[in-house]
Each structure stands twice: as structure tokens, then as C-alpha cells.
Amino acid sequence: MIPHVLKRFIVLEGIDGAGKSTQMNLLFRALSQMGLKVFATREPGGTPIGERIRKILLDKACSDMCLRTEALLYAASRAQLVEQVVKPKVNDGYIVLCERYILSSIAYQAYGAGLEVEAVRQMNTFASKGVVPGLTILIDLDPRFELRARGADRIECRGIDYLDRVRQGYLKLASGDPSIRVVDGRMTIDKVHHEILGLVSAFLNAAEEGRR
């Protein structure tokens, strides 16, 4: 399937605790204040069906879920989001900001948990009908840094080694794809925000030039 790049679709990625939600809020506010039409969403979730899928995925009672079921549920939530939110909002002239997208599945389910990279990629191409973001910002953080900064609880329940593999996967994916820009998550919230805003503004300006 030929990738369908949506220039007004921008994704924020990173390991748990990298600061995506904080940065998403700041970016949303900054772009809105610039007078742009912005819509923010997240994965898994973002639609009524997606939020129900999210509950299953995050439910501790479902801890015996097998890897393929998990990967398919993330992809199912994504399929619904693309159809019900991403495409219609972009068509309506919005810039759609999304916390996590296909890269999360490749980093977590493939590099982190061990599913085949190509299999995860293919199931997600099917789920998304080839829709890919114009720009992805990867907030890169060593999980050990997060551990020192915020305490052990959440990180320990997934395991440092797992998140390390996820992080390395992200970096590998970013190194081969110019649409993924890496930002150093060790900087202050303010500095990370300014760097992200700079990248997003430059990207949107270039996209606008390209339309003229």
C-alpha cells in the first residue's frame, strides 16, 4: 500500500514518562494562540470504541493477554481513530496532534516485546489504510533518568530492560526516517517545549510553502 502522508497530522512519541502529555498540552496551547485550528487526541483511545479498547489494554485483569492480541487491539483502536478522527479533522482544516501512533506499536510490540517488526508494520498499514503523519516528534529519554527523576513505581512495573529496548527501537526507527525528529527529553519542560514548537512551526511553514 502506498503511504498516504497527511501533512497536518503530527504525532508525539516516547517511552512512558518521557513527558508527552505535558508537551502535548503546551504545544496545543501554543498553536491555538497562534490562531491555528488544532485538535488533540491520543492512543490507545481517542474515539468511544478506542477508549473501550484502551480499558481492556490497561486492565490488570487482562494480564494474560497474548502479544498478538495486544498488538491487534492497539491496531484496532488506531483504525477507528484514523477513520473517525484523523482523516475527518484534517479534511476540516485542523492540525491534528496525536499522542502515539504506529511508531509506538513498532517500538513496544516489536522491539520491546519481540514481535516481528515487519508483521507489526504490515498490520498497522492495514489498520491505518496507509495514513502516516507528516511529522513525528520523538521525546527521547533514558528510562533510568525517568527512574531517578520521578521514583520507581510505574517504570518498575514494566521493567527497565523492556523500556530500554523500546527506546533503542525508537532511536533506530528515527535514524532511518527524516519525518521523525528527536528531542532530548532530559532538558527542562520549557526547553523541550521550545524545541518542539520550533520544529513544528518550521514544518508547518514548509508545508504551507509547498501548497503555494
Indicate whether 140 belongs to the interface with ligand TYD (CB under 6 A): no
* Interacting span for ligand TYD (CB under 6 A) from 104-112, 145-153, 174-182, 196-204: 104-112
Q: Which of 3, 4, 5, 21 binds ligand TYD (CB under 6 A)?
A: 21
Distance CA 103, CA 23 (A): 18
**Of the two residues 179 and 201, which places its CB atom closer to ligand TYD in the complex?**
179
156: amino acid identity, one letter: E
Indicate whether 104 belongs to the interface with ligand TYD (CB under 6 A): yes
Secondary structure letter of residue 144 according to DSSP? H
Contact between residue 150 and residue 17 where contact means Cβ atoms under 8 Å apart: yes
182 to each of 10, 13, 30, 70, 101, how far by Cα in Å?
14, 9, 20, 27, 16
Indicate whether 44 belongs to the interface with ligand TYD (CB under 6 A): yes
The residue at minimum Cβ distance from ligand TYD is 108
Distance CA 133, CA 95 (A): 11
Q: Which of 87, 89, 100, 193 binds ligand TYD (CB under 6 A)?
A: 100
SS3 178: coil
Indicate whether 91 belongs to the interface with ligand TYD (CB under 6 A): no
Q: Which of 9, 10, 43, 98 binds ligand TYD (CB under 6 A)?
A: 43
Distance CA 209, CA 177 (A): 22
Q: Which of 6, 27, 74, 143 binds ligand TYD (CB under 6 A)?
A: 74
The site that binds ligand TYD (CB under 6 A) totals a number of residues, namely 12
Indicate whether 99 belongs to the interface with ligand TYD (CB under 6 A): yes
Exposure string of 2-25, with b = 16+ CB inside 10 Å and e = fewer, is eeeebbbbbbbbbbebbbbeebbe
Indicate whether 13 belongs to the interface with ligand TYD (CB under 6 A): no
Report the interface residues with ligand TYD, using CB under 6 A: 16, 20-21, 43-44, 74, 99-100, 104-105, 108-109
